[in-house]
Structures are given as C-alpha cells and as structure tokens.
Amino acid sequence: MKVILLKDLPNLGQRGDIKEVNLGYARNYLIPQGFVKEATDAAIKDLEAQKENEAKMAEADLEQMEKLASSLEGQIIEITAKASEEGTLYGAISPAKIVSAFKEKGFEIRKDQIKTGHIKEVGEHEIAVDLDHGLEARITLIINSE
C-alpha cells in the first residue's frame, strides 16, 4: 500500500515522502496513529501543491533575510552605560540590551541571533548576528561610559 508520511519516522522516512508499506502495518498501526495517510491521486496532488507553496514561502523568506543581512552589515550601534574609570562596566551589556538597541533603529532581531556573551568593557566590539538560512551580518557595537 502506498502512503504519504505525515511525520518524520526514523525507520521509514521524512514528512512528505511517499512510501510503500505492508497493508496490515498501514491499516493497523500507521494510519490509526496519524503517522501516514493513503496516497490517493488527490492526496498526491495536494502534497505536490503544498510542497510548491512551501518552496515559494521559503524563497520569499530567504529573500527577506538577505535584505535584512545587507541592511545590518556594517551598522554601528551605540549604547551608553555606567562604567568605572578603568572602563569596566558596572552592569554587563547582554544580548537582550543589544536587541533593544536594534529595535530602536527599526531592526527586528531575536536575542538568540546575537553571537556574543555579556560585554563588560567600554569600547568598540564587533558582533556577529546569525540570521536564518545560514546568513550572517557583522555589526559594530560601541559602548560609551556615562
């Protein structure tokens, strides 16, 4: 019996694959558990349309991320914080503070995309921003003392 996988199954395949399985295995286990559905002509056409739609959405998302990466590249973000005379910050600059500084400039970035730890010194720091689809942008963070 031909079936379409609705979920990733370790010994069978990935979601969206069309596989040939034993009739009893499909009817008694896979279909009742919601892991597969029968691969009828209509279901296969729906699957192809869904894959095409997902590809278009992924392409649009990639294009949007490329625009974001190019606009982020080379940006300079300045943050003012309290620091000692030696240049050590009293409170570290966290990725969350960096994200809020980006939001003030109109960029939507998540804190898990900022690839740095807590910054504890005044000065200029180069920071990598990992975006979706494996894209990366480098920005300069300048921390000034109050």
pLDDT in tens, 36-59: 999 999 999 999 999 999 999 999
The CATH superfamily label for domain 68-145 reads Ribosomal protein L9, C-terminal domain (3.10.430.100)
d(CA 23, CA 100): 56
Instruction: Kindly state the average pLDDT of the residues 56-71.
Output: 90
Domain residue limits, the chain? 2-64, 68-145
Mean pLDDT of the chain: 91
Predicted local distance difference test score (pLDDT) of residue 59: 92
Tokens of 57: 């959405």
Is the distance from CB of 137 to CB of 73 less than 8 angstroms? yes
Name the class of domain 2-64: alpha beta
d(CA 137, CA 135): 7
Beta-carbon contacts of residue 49 (< 8 Å; ≥ 6 apart): none
